[in-house]
Amino acid sequence: MNLSADTLQSINPATRELLGEVSLTPVSEVATQAARAKSAQEMWGEMSLKTRARILTDIRKQLVKKGNAIARLIADETGKTEWEGWIEILQTAEHFRTVCRTGPQVLRRERRSPGLLRYKRASVQYLPWGVAGIISPWNYPLTLTAGPLCEALMAGNGVIIKPSELTPLVGREIETLFLESGLPEGLVQFVYGFGDVGAALVESPDTDILCFTGSVAVGRAIAERCGQLLKPVILELGGNDPFIVLEDAPLNRAARAAAWGGFTNAGQTCISVERVIVVESVVDEFLAHLQAETEKLRVGPDKKKADMGAIINERQKQSILKQIREADARITCGGDDLEGELNGWFIRPCVVEVDSPDQTLTQKETFGPVITVQRVADEEEAIRVANATEYGLNASIFTGNRERALRLSRALRTGNVCINDVLSNYFCTHLPFGGVGISGIGRVHGPEGLKSFSRIQAVCEDRLGLKKELWWYPVSRTVQSLFKFTFRAFYG
């Protein structure tokens, strides 16, 4: 991505060719656009849940109709393969379908027990916050932009959204998709720029909740500022995800899962496989399978034939190569800078054997096509190594014993776990998604995601219409005696 005076210029990472440009949003304009979304939200918030679902369903259908063009654009602007672009479209369409099918049920007024006060009526209402500010990343520019946008809208909010400065063309395509829908005019606002535009979005008095997907450093800064403003925030940050292989695991499947989970999107996935932890008795056999899977991957700019595409830019490529060079580890395969062979930013997928969980390569998120493999004695050590990180996003466990896997999953300090699988939890859009530790705060997806974008209001109604409640002034001795009798009967 290059910068001219007033535009973002988008570069294809696989070819370094200029794709196009998008006008920068002046920082001073962000507050104005947030106010427009706030004004339009009043009408949208009054619409029924079924009406919102119908309009969002129409947007999903338009996304599907434009699928070929959008998949190509995603591939061009991120450097990933066209197939990986289609995976984004599939996941996004499924997410929209889940939100539209479940939203009217999840967000309707919910009756609750009034407990001791049986003559009262208790309920919970899920109301819009107002305007949701969304800051989305470049690695999955459709999924991680349209997904929270859909949830926020289903919950009745207006939205102001800043796509990544590295993928502005996909952002503009999403903007067009929503502008051509039946949404109230001004309800969805897109702003384009760098961190100063994102900061203005956070600061705006018209944004009532923030949703950020990106780095830990930026997430912390947003959380700190939102804390000062007492503004709720959803953070989906980095991962350093463990992949445990036990002695009774299906090794061939495990190796294929690790290769795909670690190298899809060139490893630029927050839930990618980074740390493979293998029980000593099967590590050599597993490594042989993993090396074979890795070495046959086709890397390059051919977005239809390649298995793995490019790194997003030169800066990210050099960061990955630096971690590989400085690692105190044995490189099993890959890790080459393909600068001399290919015009784009490419690294050959890399498998590295490590002896300790306490080095940079295993402690920091690599965000590239690098998998570390560490030997452990048994499942207890595997869990200790898996939890030896500040991150806590995704994890995988491979074993032939389901009960064993479920038991071990409870010991993992992560927000999500796959058993004999990898990354599939993100496609299960009825499930909540989010992390613990420095991997984030809050949840998206599932009922929990819809409720994250909702202001929860408790309602207690009187049903009898008495002149006064027993505990209102004055409180007689008879009432006090009745209270003590009732108290002992209920709680003694």
- Give catalytic residue positions: 236, 270
Q: Which residues contact 153 (CB under 8 A, 6 or more apart)?
A: 44, 52, 56, 159, 183, 187, 188
| CA–CA dist 271, 367 (Å, integer) | 10
What's the CA gap between 257 and 261, in Å, rounded? 6
Alpha helices in 107-215 (DSSP H): 143-154, 168-179, 195-203
DSSP 316-351: HHHHHHHHHHH-SSEEEE---B-TTT-SS--B--EE
373: left (phi over 0), alpha (psi -120 to 50) or beta: beta
8 Å CB contact between 335 and 376: no
Q: How far apart are CA 101 and CA 123, in angstroms?
A: 22
Q: CB within 8 A of 486, min separation 6: which ones?
A: none
CA 308 to chain centre: 22
CB-count burial class (<10 Å; 0-12, 13-18, 19+) for 341: exposed
Neighbours of 127 (CB within 10 A): 15
Q: Classify 212 as helix, strand or coil.
A: strand
